Amino acid sequence: MSDLNECMDKLGYRFREDGLLRRALTHSSLAVEQHRMGEDNERLEYLGDAVLEHLVSRHLYDTHPEMREGALTRLRSSLVCEEALAAAARRLGLGEFLLLSRGEEQCGGRKKDSILSDAFEAVLAAIYLDGGLAEAQKLVQDYVLCAEGQEKRSSSKDSKTAFQELVHADHKGRTIRYELVSESGPDHKKEFTMRVLVDDTEWGMGSGPSKQTAGQAAAQMAMERYTKACD
């Protein structure tokens, strides 16, 4: 109980039903080890993922009326990705409160991004169930949306640079190349169409009065498709 109280102090929220918090901190490895199947944080993580997406989406929709759907999607994805949520969990110190099996403990489970990000979403769901959406919003505001300014600056880069960083964040070895598809019109009014490929797969195509603008348009389309494919 003392560990749960300390965790609640760090969260800034007092649970009425502290069993919810215990479950949110229980990794599936411990439930398996102790033959308590289903008494882990996986269902809470599922709910927390939905709550988080709703809260972040609503915040971005309300605060960025100038952003189109693609830009909003990219910014949201950067805020709720595994790496970002693991960082939020570390700021909260959730790792020290996780309930893990002996094997997962020995494998460094308290430091794994996947376990930490899932635990953050599970804790968010537990707060939502215990205290409602407003209390969940406080956690998201303090530990997820606090990174919004930095991510928004990153998203303001030109589309080619942003797409390259998006792809290489997942697979640094992938090759990105732009190809001219067509060129039409008189010299004073040219229309170029470019496509962008990752390895040998086409992800976007765009047109413009120059190869550069057509390439940027192709990269913009590619980012929207790539982001949705990775969600």
33-57 confidence digits (pLDDT tens): 777 776 889 999 999 999 999 999 9
**Collapsed DSSP state (helix, strand, coil) of residue 36:** coil
pLDDT of residue 168: 83
pTM exceeding the 0.75 threshold for the entire prediction: no
- Residue 136: partners with Cβ closer than 8 Å, 6 or more residues away: 51, 55, 124, 125, 127, 128
Q: What is the pLDDT of residues 106-118, one digit of tens each?
A: 888 888 898 999 9
Contact 73, 226 (CB under 8 A): no
Instruction: Answer yes or no: is pLDDT of 230 > 70.
Output: no
pLDDT of residue 154: 46
Average pLDDT, the chain: 87
Whose tokens are 């009425």? That residue is: 16
Instruction: Answer yes or no: is pLDDT of 211 > 60.
Output: yes
State the DSSP code for 172: T
> CA-to-CA distance for 99 and 115, rounded, in angstroms?
11
Domains annotated for the chain, with CATH where assigned, are: 2-155 (1.10.1520.10), 159-230 (3.30.160.20)
Phi, psi of 205 (to 5 degrees): -140, 140
- Active-site residue list: 49, 121
- How many CA atoms within 13 Å lie on the side-chain side of 60? 29
- Average pLDDT for 183-199: 87
pLDDT of residue 156: 45
Q: Is 64 exposed, middle or buried (0-12, 13-18, 19+ CB in 10 A)?
A: middle
pLDDT of residue 153: 45
- Average pLDDT for 144-158: 60
- Residue 110: partners with Cβ closer than 8 Å, 6 or more residues away: 95, 96, 98, 100, 116
> CA-to-CA distance for 228 and 74, rounded, in angstroms?
9
Phi, psi of 128 (to 5 degrees): -60, -45
Instruction: Answer yes or no: is pLDDT of 138 > 60.
Output: yes
- Residue 169: partners with Cβ closer than 8 Å, 6 or more residues away: none
Instruction: Answer yes or no: is pLDDT of 193 > 50.
Output: yes
pLDDT of residue 60: 92
